[in-house]
Structure formats: structure tokens, C-alpha cells
Chain A
Amino acid sequence: MTDPHPLYLPPNMESLVSAFLRDQAELVDLVDDRVYTAIPKGAVYPLVRVTQILDTPAGAPLWSVAYSVQVEAFGGTKATAWLIASTARAAIDLRIKGEHLGFGVVNGTTPGSLLDLPDEDHEPAKPRWLFTSTIYARPGATVQS
């Protein structure tokens, strides 16, 4: 029996982006380490939530993937929420390209529009700005199974 072909897993982009944002000094100044993929109960605001919306493989064999990732900045004043979202967008656009150990390699990004969409779960609605960026990535040497 021949050895099975090794599996190369494209990165878990939601985890990659949240780890990346927690490592950005400008963002730490604004939200400490409060960058989540699911907002915990009793969370302190302001905070950031990262959600992977869609992953679209470039084709076969499975290697390069385009991810749509929504990043939201909740809470604080409207200006603070905008600053957090804008900082996160700029960091992704300018710094995320390259290898991320344990995740994979980011080849490039296309930034999305910043949207002002207050959080209606609170009365009055809390400020929230969000954007959806497209991030292109592939497996890295560190994620071979």
C-alpha cells in the first residue's frame, strides 16, 4: 500500500485574521485583546468580531482560496468604532500578506467598503462600523497534515 497523499489545508481564515488583529499594536491600544470570532457573554466594549462569510477555491487541485471576511467594530462612540474598523482594515490591507505560522500564507487582499450599521440589539443602538475584505491565501508548509 502506498503512502496516502499528504493533505494541504487552506488556512482557517477567521482564526488567522483574529490572531493577526490581536497582534497589531494600534488595535491593541483601542481594544486590548478583545478580537473575537463569537462575542462572549458579558463582553467589554469596544470590541472586534471577525466572521468568515465565504471561502471560494480558485479551482482544482484545492490550493489557493479567496475568503470573504467580515470585520466589525462594536461599541464606544461612533468615532471610536470608526477608528477601530478603519485601523483593522488598513492593517489587513498593508500587513497581513505573508506566511502565518500554523495557519498558511496570505497572498493578497482586496479591501471592502466601511459601512455604518449600528447594533440594534441595544436601545439605543450601539455604534458599529464594519467591512468585508477579500483575502487570498494558500496552505503553508506548517499546516501539512
Chain B
Amino acid sequence: MPSSARGFRFVPDPDGIFEASSGDAVKGILTQRAQDAAAEIKKLAPKKRAFFDYRRSVKARAAKRTAGKGYEAAVEVTSPGWHLPEYGTSRIQPTAPIRRGVPLAGLDFREGE
């Protein structure tokens, strides 16, 4: 944290961020957050329709160490029909279980990330 004439300026240390994001405590927290998001998505998911079992296809993936990035956790939706409730069609109103569920779990959601 270098000092200047006007006080202190915070300069993030990339090595420090990597060290913090690689700790075992972070692994547990990230896994819990993924489980929270999956639970919210399941609440909003439609019931089984035709051969699409939306709720059972939502899974939280435990945090894993990734090369150079520390731990990362994820939520996976494996049903090939998830785009139907998420974005809708001309006959299906979009209910966006993923785009609503992730923020409702207290996490930021940005398309494409």
C-alpha cells in the first residue's frame, strides 16, 4: 500500500489475490454459493415437461482448483431444453429461472460470463 502526499492508495497485489482465492476456506464458500444458486434456480424451474426434466438437470459443481485462477465453482444445467423457459418462444412466456435465480441467491449475473 504505497503512501503519497495525499494519504494511502490501495494497489491490489495479484499474488495476494491468487493466494486468497486458493485457500481451503474459499473452496467451501464457493461451493456453498453454487449450491445456493442451484437451489434458487430449481425453485423457479418449470415442472417436468414432455421429456425435459428441468429441476433434476440443475446441479451445483463443487469448487475445483483451476490453472492460474484459484478455485472456481459452477452451476450446470444439463437438459437440452433449458433455453425454452429461459428465453421463451412465441408460445412460451420467458420465465428466466437462471437469470432470476442467480441474483436471488445474492450473486451477480452477467450474460456471457
Contacts and interface: CB of A to CB of B under 8 A. Distances in A.
A90 to B, nearest CB: 18
A132 B111 CA distance: 9
Interface residues of B, number: 16
B99 interface: yes
A119 B100 CA distance: 22
Interface string A24-56: 000000000000001100000000010101101
A72 to B, nearest CB: 7
Nearest to B100: A54
Contacts of A112: 111
A113 B93 contact: no
Nearest to A47: B90
Contacts of B84: 120
The DSSP consensus for interface residues of chain B is loop
Contacts of A54: 96, 99-100, 103
Contacts of A121: 89-92
A77 to B, nearest CB: 16
Contact of B89 (A56, A120, A132): A120
A49 B90 CA distance: 9
Given A72-B88, A113-B111, A51 B93 contact: yes
Contacts of B83: 117
Interface in B62-107: 83-84, 87-94, 96, 99-100, 103
Interface of A: 38-39, 49, 51, 53-54, 56, 68, 70, 72, 74, 112-113, 115, 117, 119-122, 126, 130, 132
Interface of B: 83-84, 87-94, 96, 99-100, 103, 111-112
25 contacts: A38-B93, A39-B90, A39-B91, A49-B88, A49-B90, A51-B94, A53-B94, A53-B99, A54-B96, A54-B99, A54-B100, A68-B99, A70-B87, A115-B87, A115-B111, A117-B83, A117-B87, A119-B89, A119-B90, A120-B84, A121-B92, A122-B90, A126-B90, A130-B87, A132-B99
